[in-house]
Amino acid sequence: MPLKNKIFLVVLYLNLFSIWSARSQGVSFSYLIPKNGYITAPISPFSIRGIGVGEVLGIESGFSLYNIPGLAMENLPFSYDKPLTGPHFALMIPADIYVKFPIEKMSLKFMIGGFGWWNIGQRINEGNMDRAWRSFEGWEVLNTDFQLKNKLGYGWLGGFEFQFPFSREVKLSIEANYLRGSSKTMLKGSYSGVKDSNSQLITKEVDINNASTVIEGLELSFGAIFSMR
What is the per-residue pLDDT across 198-221, written as a single tens digit (0 to 9) for each? 989 999 999 999 999 999 999 988
Class of domain 3-227 as given by CATH: mainly beta
Question: Phi/psi class of residue 212: alpha, beta or left (left: φ > 0; alpha: ψ in -120 to 50)?
Answer: beta
55-108, pLDDT tens digit by residue? 889 998 888 889 999 999 999 999 999 999 999 999 999 999 999 999 888 999
Q: Classify 112 as helix, strand or coil.
A: strand
Residues 6+ apart with CB under 8 A from 52: 18, 22, 23, 24, 58, 59, 60, 61, 98
Domain boundaries of the chain, sorted by first residue: 3-227
Alpha carbon distance 77, 143 (integer Å): 17
What's the pLDDT at 30? 80
Looking only at the bridges linking them, the beta strands covering 106-120 and 170-184 are: unpaired
Instruction: Give the predicted TM-score (pTM) of the model.
Output: 0.79
Report d(CA 96, CA 110) in Å as an integer: 10
pLDDT digits (tens, 9 = 90+) for 28-49: 778 889 999 998 877 765 677 7
